[in-house]
Amino acid sequence: MNLERYEFFDSNDYYDYEFYSEGPKGRIRKLVTFAKIPGTEPPIFNLAFGDRFADTGELDDMSITNNLDRDIVLSTVANTINTFCDHHGNHYIYVEGSTPSRTRLYQMGIAGLWEEICLDFEVYGLKDNGWHEFKPNRINYDAFLVKRK
């Protein structure tokens, strides 16, 4: 994948990542966290993404930044998946927005970068209680499963 992305920072165990979105709203600190979903073996990890609460430092998955850099942010998140897989293996990664509209935004982002993303990742969309190979712009999915090839 050869997309524009931000530099990012990893935790020592490669479960947590941070980077800064840059745009008209300023520099916004973004967090990506991979957490094992209990009861899954081989493990499946949930990818949580959002802004950092300034006061608590916790992940805020409800914030709306509108910093006009969605594709750069998404390719940076994709890069964190790649780094996570380098250190923890090519496991399924579950991604769902905190709201249906945010899941839709993720879908638009994946679709927009699909020609690059499909080179490195298998992506499945959840619809009607089943997983389907991701098809850009055809169906509104409820969640995504991503696995590095």
Partner 1 sequence: MSTTVKERNTMKGFGPGVVSSDVKSHANDPAVLRQVEKAMETLKRVGLPKQKNK
State the residue for tokens 């094992």: 36
Binding track over 61-80 against partner 1, x by CB under 8 A: xx------x--x------xx
Q: Is residue 47 within 8 Å of 61, Cβ to Cβ? A: no
**Element containing residue 27 per DSSP (H, E):** strand 26-36
Nearest CA among 65, 18, 16 for reference residue 6: 18
Strands 93-95, 45-52: pairing is parallel
Q: How far is the CB of 82 from partner 1 (least distance, A)?
A: 5
Q: How far is the CB of 129 from partner 1 (least distance, A)?
A: 5
Q: Which tokens is 27 given?
A: 């520099």
Q: Which tokens is 54 given?
A: 């300034």
Q: Which of residues 14-43 bind partner 1 (CB under 8 A)?
A: 15-18, 22-28, 31, 33, 35, 37-40
Strand partners, 65: none
Binding track over 103-132 against partner 1, x by CB under 8 A: -----------------x---x-x--xxxx
Q: Applying CB under 8 A, which residues contact partner 1? A: 1-13, 15-18, 22-28, 31, 33, 35, 37-40, 44, 46, 48, 50, 57-62, 69, 72, 79-80, 82-83, 86, 92, 94, 96, 98, 120, 124, 126, 129-133, 143, 145
